[in-house]
Homo-oligomer: A and B are copies of this chain.
Amino acid sequence: MKNFKIKLAYDGSKYKGWQVQNSTSDTIQGKLENILLKLTGSPVDVIGSGRTDAGVHAMGQIANFHIELADDMSPDQLMEYINRYLPEDIAVLSLKEVDERFHARFSANSKTYRYRIHTSKIPNVFERKYVYSYLDAKLDPDLMKEAAEHLLGKHDFKAFCGNKHMKKSTVRTLIDIKIEAIYDQYGLKEVLIDYTGDGFLQNMIRILTGTLIEVGNGRISKDAIPAILNSKDRAQAGFTAPACGLCLMDVYY
């Protein structure tokens, strides 16, 4: 058996997220497993670096799988084979053989997700499916940056966890939050937030983003963040920003 590591891009708009649920046809993992079953004749388990929610995109999801590969098929040919059968909204960007112990989830050290908030009064026609259209909203990126400082480091992020029945630890380390404001002739056009952390709870980035948006529009004080963290109460944090603005950018090993 050979162990292959792949890097994937997908437009998650149409999918119920990464992980196979009941049917295999509406998840990214399911699409890949169906193609590898067809190629090898046996069920293949494709291990992702983590789940992405329904509607979330990826430019750099990492996964691995173990298969017997015929001697006359090179890794490049395997990548082309998979891409030929994948739908047009999923693509394998690279594929290579790795050590048999490599595990896309357990071996991951950290990940970067990007959240895009489109704030111009002019809708973004060509990227509308990849941004949260918060049209003509007033956001103060400087307030958002100050609030983000309070989130950095190792914290119990229970207040930012979408799963109320989470029994495992909700302690995570946010290594970096980079906020970029882009302007056009009408003012603030887009706010990009890049989150890098050692792991993320369910909906965590979307709740962090909703909270930062509410700081940016003045509904939550930037100085309220430590109290929200300490409360460990989901109701104290901001809203869950929509999935369409979120994209998994990179996984680090």
Name A's B-contacting residues (CB within 8 A).
9-11, 57, 59, 80, 83, 86, 88-93, 121-128, 130, 133, 136
Contacts and interface: CB of A to CB of B under 8 A. Distances in A.
Contact of A125 (B80, B88, B125, B128): B88
A83 B122 contact: yes
Contacts of A125: 9-11, 88-91
Given A9-B125, A57-B126, A83-B121, 15 more contacts: A10-B125, A11-B125, A59-B126, A80-B121, A80-B136, A86-B123, A88-B133, A89-B125, A90-B125, A91-B122, A91-B123, A91-B124, A92-B122, A93-B122, A126-B127
A83 B124 CA distance: 11
Contact of A130 (B86, B90, B126): B126
18 contacts: A10-B125, A11-B125, A59-B126, A80-B136, A83-B121, A83-B123, A86-B123, A88-B123, A88-B125, A88-B128, A88-B133, A89-B125, A90-B125, A91-B122, A91-B124, A93-B122, A126-B127, A126-B130
